[in-house]
Amino acid sequence: MAPNSAATRPKDELDLADQLGHELVRFMRLITKAKTQVSKQGPDGIERAAYAILFCLIHEGPQRTSKLAEFLHSEISTISRQSSALVQHGLVERQADPEDGRACLLAPTAEGLRVFDENRKQRNLWLADVLGDWSQEDRETLNELFGRLNTGIENNFPDMTDAVPAQPGHSSHTANSKGA
């Protein structure tokens, strides 16, 4: 991996990275807006954020609450509250941990799998509408590049040990005025 220094990167590479950063911030804002349009709670009264737990359990298998909190970058108390709602609605069940009988694992139920599939179908219909006027080739390219971007992010988390702390009330750039 190349050194992580502005002095060692060509200006055009940094300019493209800045444009991508702007588009990623814009993308995250739009996704957040879309999620709030769906509402904070689904029709079943479960917080939308709790579905991230269901997603994780379906894709990663049964997990302890602490592992879910780590995976979802959340507080254990938040995961406990949200997972309790999922258990009450029959979407997740508690199972004895085979490695430690005193602990429990959370796992999706058959109903949880059904609800997850229904939510995924709705998301897929929305994304198909978003990309409806794109060519098949463009949609395939987007999927390939998005996958590469995600893999790159997973493999290169920022090292903030050399970061310069921001001065209170002082900004060295105009990222906020440009939407970052």
Q: Write down the pLDDT at residue 157.
A: 82
Q: 160-165: which pairs have CB atoms within 8 A and are 24 or more residues apart?
A: 162/4
Q: Write down the pLDDT at residue 80.
A: 93
Asked if pLDDT for residue 76 goes beyond 60, the answer is yes
Q: For residues 22-28, give the mean pLDDT.
A: 93
| Predicted confidence band of residue 47 (pLDDT cuts 50, 70, 90) | confident
Q: Write down the pLDDT at residue 177.
A: 40
Nearest-10 crossing angle of helices 51-60, 76-88: 90
Give percent of the chain with pLDDT exceeding 70: 80
- The CATH number of the domain covering residues in 41-132: 1.10.10.10
CA 87 to CA 43: how far, in whole Å?
Answer: 16
Which segment of 87-96, 130-139, 156-165 scores lowest on mean pLDDT? 156-165
CA 111 to CA 179: how far, in whole Å?
Answer: 41
End-to-end Cα distance, the chain: 25
Name the residue ranges covered by the structural domains of the chain: 41-132
Residues pairing with 94 in the sheet? 106
Q: How many CB atoms lie within 10 A of CB 104?
A: 15
CA 115 to CA 30: how far, in whole Å?
Answer: 24
Those residues whose C-beta lies under 8 Å from the C-beta of residue 111, and which sit 6 or more positions away, are 89, 90, 91
Give percent of the chain with pLDDT exceeding 90: 56
Residue among 115, 124, 96, 103 at smallest CA distance from 58 = 115
Q: For residues 100-117, give the mean pLDDT.
A: 91
